Amino acid sequence: MKLGIFGGGQLARMIALEGYKLGLEINIYDKNENACAKDLAKNFFNYDFLDEEKVDEFFALNDIVTYEFENIDPDFLKKHEAKIPQGVMALELLQDRFVEKNFINSLDGIKCVSFCLANENIVETPFILKTRRFGYDGKGQLLVTDKNTDIEKFKNENYIIEKYLENITEYSIVIARTRSGEMYNYEPLKNVHKKGILKTSTFEKYLDEDIKSKMIEKAKLIAEKLNYIGVLCVEFFVSNGEVYVNEVAPRVHNSGHITIEGANISQFMLHVHAIVDLPIPKISSYSKYYMVNVLGHDMKKMELMQKDKKFARCHFHNYGKNSYDTNRKVGHITFKDSDDLIFNILNNIKGAI
């Protein structure tokens, strides 16, 4: 069977690695000629995502196509929807924050933090200005704490304003939905961000049962309403016992990288099983597991740590990117939680402190 992947970044790379274990042929489409998953593709399509002829060719070549990012024109993919298990609806509803948050709020029992279009400006400080499209890793966001801040140039329909919640705890639920509508989720992950970029994820050990079941229920409802097939991730904010949905990623997710070693099936293998319709085992994860992201400016440190016996228990992941730019995700480390190891790793990986 031939699996095509739209987007050739680290998520595609990790999907491809699992796909090979199942004997799939992997083909990748990315406009970036240096995409880090390129070398894993039998056929690498290096064209613009709006090159209709090449996209048609890519769909003709593959039995199934998955996407690893959400900024693809949905209208353009509609005619190929039969080959896209994740569907086109997820792209239509989730690639624009304003549309996404309205969709989430329309679901029974689910809410987002209060927001409005930036030109309405009815949210009081502190608030965050966010671009509606193309934001990731905190890019395109501005925290406004002083009501006299001049935000005139952002007061248009391309931005939203969202109430800033102090002292939040962040969680994510990584969940798979199969063709027959069954759902499989991992334990909630507790995520810590620094400057909008995910820093660490760990399976939450002490989570209140009520909050946990609320998050799982909401993730299931979202996957079902999107008629979604594959792995999806819902990011949550918890503040004063209230559960808010932050955003939904219709794909495998950075927090889920912990599952490569920290669970009986990785989120990438789970995704492939769901989209090619293979049976899925009951999911179990190891408690006391940890994942730390490595950003470009820390890559040299990670390479040194890899050679250090002290860190031999760690699993080091290098995405093979062609540049190690500051704040760019270039790898991650997973390990069984132990206080001295966490302390040592966080002390070494500056981006993680």
Q: Would you tell me which residues interact with ligand ADP (CB under 6 A)?
A: 113, 128, 135-138, 162-165, 168, 170, 193, 196, 235, 246-247
Nearer to ligand ADP, 28 or 252 (CB): 252
Is the Cβ–Cβ distance between 27 and 5 less than 8 Å? Answer: yes
Minimum CB separation from ligand ADP for residue 295, in Å? 14
Helices (H) and strands (E) in the chain, counts: 10, 17
The structure tokens listed for 281 are: 């085992």
Please provide residue 330's backbone torsions phi and psi, each rounded to the nearest 5 degrees.
-120, -10
User: Closest CB to ligand ADP belongs to which residue?
Assistant: 193
Q: For residue 5, count CB atoms less than 10 angstroms from its CB and return exposed for 0-12, middle for 13-18, buried for 19 or more.
A: buried
Nearer to ligand ADP, 168 or 280 (CB): 168
Nearer to ligand ADP, 196 or 296 (CB): 196
Q: Rounded to a whole number, what is the distance in angstroms from the first to the last CA of the chain?
A: 43
Minimum CB separation from ligand ADP for residue 62, in Å? 28
| Number of neighbours of residue 134 by Cβ within 10 angstroms | 11
Tell me which DSSP letter residue 243 carries. Answer: E
Nearer to ligand ADP, 43 or 169 (CB): 169
Minimum CB separation from ligand ADP for residue 249, in Å? 8
Minimum CB separation from ligand ADP for residue 52, in Å? 28
Looking up tokens 């987002």 gives: 112
Nearer to ligand ADP, 246 or 267 (CB): 246
Alpha helices in 119-233 (DSSP H): 209-225
Minimum CB separation from ligand ADP for residue 89, in Å? 20
